[in-house]
Amino acid sequence: MRTRPFRPKRGAGGGSPRSGARGLAVGATALLLLGVTGVAACRVADTDAVTPVPQLLAFLPWLLLPTSLGLLLTLLTRWWPGLFWGTAVLAVLGWFTVPHGYGGGTPAGPPLATLRVLTSNVEFGNGTPSLVPQIRRAKPDVVFVEECEYTCQATLKRETDYPYRTAVVAGGSTGSLLLSRFPLRATDGVPGTMGMPGAVADVDGHPVRLQLAHPMPPLPGQVALWRRELGRLRDFAAADTRTPTILAGDFNSSQDHAAFRRILAAGDLKDSARLSGAARTASWPAPTAAVFGAQIDHVLVSRDFTATGARFLRLADTDHRALVVDITLHRHKP
């Protein structure tokens, strides 16, 4: 009697268990690459799109990690089309992660004045006690403080020595404060859900527009409001491109957000951190900023300025790092 040789049963659909596992791995890898590709495509298309794209764009450099994982999986599964796909996405992300240039040429005119600027979101005023010694140590000439409520404003008035100030006096995250060693003429500021005061400073006889930035964050369901308030900051920047301008604060957006880049373009502004070689230094969330985070706190300056020495300072009891930068005002030459 002849017997047939034993053969293991194939899985459903005629495939072996091994080929089924490979199919699942390829499917999971495709989904991973598809998600990253969507965000990368929005960056290329210069759009912030809709949730969750604006939230993920803030962490664009970190998308290199899941993309690299996807590439590894394509190698392990020998999925060669996926390998080419992942390599292309990795190249796009790498291109946008590395800063290209420093935002424009150096002003042609001679230097007129040098000043130090500090911006800090103190998170409902909680970080004020740790901000005071940093102000005393850094001695900034102009200070922008976001989420500076009643107690914060009273403390900074009592504990620091600034003869000029303008503020939105309010509680919680709505209060904001602008301090200056230079004489100030208050302006209407920029309207927003949270306070954004403004002023014109007399810097050694030269008018300089000062504007605090604190638009709403791009929370799910509030992306339209976030985009609208960034648009108001863009309108401020575009309203006067001849007067030297400093626009600083918590923008709740990074250089990878189209709405933020439109502010730069409209006002012919430069990011002082980028000018100082710190374009990707994270400022939020402070507890993980040293290893993981996004730069959403900025000091933007018009082309009348150069910038050096940007430093991000760790403060207690706030989820933002403070930013200190030295800038020099140059005489404008047509």
User: Which of residues 299 and 4 earns the better pLDDT score?
Assistant: 299
Q: Above pLDDT 90, what percent of the chain?
A: 87
Closest to 117 in 3D by CA, of 287, 226, 280, 275: 275
**Same domain for 115 and 67:** no
pLDDT band at 195 (very low <50, low <70, confident <90, very high): very high
What pLDDT shows up at residue 268? 96
Q: Is 12 part of any domain?
A: no
**Same domain for 141 and 76:** no
Domain end point (choices 97, 123, 146):
97
Q: Tens digit of pLDDT for each residue in 150-169?
A: 999 999 999 999 999 999 99
What pLDDT shows up at residue 308? 94
Give the total number of structural domains in the chain. Answer: 2
Domain containing residue 86: 17-97
194-220 mean pLDDT: 98
Q: Tens digit of pLDDT for each residue in 261-306?
A: 999 999 999 999 999 999 999 999 999 998 999 999 999 999 999 9
Domain end point (choices 38, 62, 97):
97
79-92 mean pLDDT: 97
Domain end point (choices 46, 64, 97):
97
**Same domain for 27 and 149:** no
The rounded mean pLDDT for the chain is: 93
**Same domain for 36 and 115:** no
- What tokens were used for 11? 């899985």
Q: At what angle do helices 17-45 and 64-77 cross, to 10 degrees?
A: 150
**Same domain for 78 and 141:** no
CA distance 178 to 197: 7
* Global confidence as pTM: 0.92
Task: Reply yes or no on whether the pLDDT at 2 is more than 80.
Answer: no
* CATH number of 267's domain: 3.60.10.10
